[in-house]
């Protein structure tokens, strides 16, 4: 499964214990801070750009919604998911394990994307 980098995992765990109501999105956002590598995906004109992104393990992927319509970033297997992102809202997730992660916008499911994680 997808995990957090170690320090973030501890923070996330603490947060999760302290305030369960925060939910997944909030704890994932915390994981972005200590990550060394960040790659961005733009959500614009009802599309994820780049639609397919290849990163190395440990990379944080940061999505920004540039549309006037809200969108989500939702893994097909629900392994990660953002809250609804309004204009200029961001969501990030750190991919630690190699794999092929398919995701979509749960509001506009014709919008799909892939993150491929493999050692460089």
Query: Considering the complex, what minimum distance in angstroms separates the CB of residue 15 from other proteins?
Result: 16
Q: What is the b/e burial string over 89-120, where b = at least 16 CB atoms within 10 angstroms of the residue's CB?
A: eebbbbbbeeeebebbbeeeeebebbbebeee
Q: Report the interface residues with other proteins, using CB under 8 A.
A: 23, 25, 45-47, 67-70, 72, 76, 83-84, 86-87, 102-104, 106-112
Query: Considering the complex, what minimum distance in angstroms separates the CB of residue 70 from other proteins?
Result: 6
* CA distance readout (Å), 87 to 6, 66, 67, 102: 31, 6, 6, 23
Between 25 and 57, name the residue whose CB sits nearer to other proteins. 25
Between 5 and 91, name the residue whose CB sits nearer to other proteins. 91
């Amino acid at each position: 499964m997808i995990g957090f980098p170690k320090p973030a995992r501890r923070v996330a765990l603490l947060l999760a214990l302290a305030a369960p109501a925060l939910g997944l999105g909030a704890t994932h956002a915390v994981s972005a801070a200590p990550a060394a590598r960040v790659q961005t995906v733009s959500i614009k004109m009802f599309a994820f750009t780049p639609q397919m992104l290849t990163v190395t393990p440990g990379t944080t992927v940061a999505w920004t919604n540039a549309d006037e319509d809200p969108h989500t970033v939702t893994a097909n297997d629900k392994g990660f998911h953002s809250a609804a992102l309004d204009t200029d809202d961001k969501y990030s997730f750190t991919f630690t394990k190699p794999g092929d992660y398919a995701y979509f916008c749960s509001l506009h499911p014709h919008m799909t994307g892939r993150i491929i994680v493999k050692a460089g």
